Amino acid sequence: MAIAPPENGTPPDPAHPRNGFDRFFEISARGSTMSREVRGGLATFFTMAYIVVLNPLILGGAVDGDGKKLSIPALAAATALVAGLMTMLMGVVGRFPMALAAGLGVNALVAYEIAPEMTWADAMGLVVIEGVIIAILVLTGLRTAVFRSVPTQLKTAIGVGIGLFLTIIGLVDAGFVRRVPDVANTTVPVGLGIGGKLVSWPMLVFVVGLLVTLVLVVRRVRGAILIGILVSTVLAIIVEAVAHVGPSFVNGKPNPKGWSLNVPELPKKIVDVPDLSLLGHFNVLDSWSRAGWLVPLMFVFTLLITDFFDTMGTMVAIGQEGSMLDERGTPPRAKEILLVDSIAAAAGGAASVSSNTSYIESAAGVAEGARTGVASLVTGGLFLLAMFLAPLSVVVPFEAASTALVVVGFLMMTAVRTIDWTDYEIAIPAFLTITLMPFTYSISNGIGAGLITYVVIKLAKGRARDIHPLLYGVAALFILYFLRGPIESAVH
């Protein structure tokens, strides 16, 4: 996607930064402006603010090996704190418009697979270990070297796949696409709305918000995505005030026509004191003595692979969206970006909120014109405010925020034209990378399938020299990743 047009008719002059702040963050050098950065930071926050609510629900709904639960208010405060600090660190050190927060998928792994085998402190200790290992890989240059060993067109496919992944996340979160119940006696896994129909007010809000956003994008209105989120949220508040739709679960019973996650109501209380009692509750040693060596080792390996490659994919996708990649498909300050991400993983474990990682929702901010770390400072600052303004952070429902994910998915999909689909040696791995991300709900699965297939096809064609030596090791690790279930069963 090309850099957004200048807002005042005069493009920024890369050779003449306005001041020291501009020079440090390279605002003019990257063709951006302060207004675009602020707007982008706002858009990113609104598209991922749900994590302050969702992460506590996932972690707080599980019990550890001792039958204990984590406090949901404390989880919410710590989630916002770590996301805010790590995103601002990304802004200052990585100087890249990418926000970080507790990783979805990873938090479920911690909650439902790792914690039941040990205590919460032990489980979070494994997350800290994983973050430290990744940091070492970054400092030694191995993580960056692996990133650069991936063929450029395959990196493009990763970005496209993530775009489709974002799209299906948005459609599912909004309830526009839903899983077809097993009792429906059909082989179709998903369908439109409820019973193939759009029959709820929240779905109407999503459709109207999406159409408004698309029209604004087509007309190249500045702030289109952010305006779309705000318009959808206002509409949702009005609908809830009139129709009293309610949440998707009422007294433990499903309400298919209810709002997903957040009910769009103006809160009675705006400011609250954050509970930070979970900070520092981790243990890096006890899990090994309690669960044996294999279980913690496999969990650390799974966390490592997921974080290692999810961030690489996200970084490429965001750089691709903002036209910030060099000829090798690498964004600026890649090593610093990866280092902050590894620190965030360890910080998430130390704060008992699971591994923090980069969020692809940051592409919403890039689509709004963000190109530098200033946008991350804005997003991070809003997360810190969310600790105190938790009631306000839950006003925006999924149905409003998800419009941004679908639009950004389209924008990222446009890069598919740069892949040579006549060359099967790269086209087939690219195809698997693109399709498996949304269809398996995992960035790592798509990257793994693409890299393994690329290596196998090159070897089968007798073109082993075309394969970067590091890719053999990466492909082998992904094979272990995909076979971790049978390996665990065989050892047990």
* Tally of CB atoms within 10 A around 464: 10
The model's pLDDT over 302-353, given as tens digits with 9 standing for 90+, comes to 777 777 777 878 888 898 888 898 887 888 898 999 999 999 999 999 999 9
| pTM, rounded to two decimals | 0.73
Give residues with Cβ within 8 angstroms of 89, minimum separation 6: 340, 343, 344, 380
Q: What percent of the chain has pLDDT over 90?
A: 37
Using only the alpha carbons of the chain, give its radius of gyration. Answer: 22
Over residues 421-446, the mean pLDDT reads 91
Helix axes 443-460, 152-173, angle to 10 degrees: 150
Alpha-carbon distance values, 457 to 14, 159, 423, 429 (Å): 43, 22, 12, 9
Q: Which residues pair with residue 468 across a beta bridge? A: none
With a cut of 70, say whether residue 295 has pLDDT above it: no
Please state the rounded mean pLDDT for residues 248-256. Answer: 80
Q: How far is CA 110 from CA 125, 129, 271, 296, in A?
A: 11, 13, 30, 11
pLDDT: is 33 or 223 the higher one? 33
The sign of the CA dihedral 440, 441, 442, 443 is positive
Q: Are 434 and 191 in contact (CB under 8 A)?
A: no
**Which pLDDT belongs to residue 492?**
61
Supply the mean pLDDT for the chain.
Answer: 85
* Number of other CB atoms surrounding residue 230 within 10 Å: 17
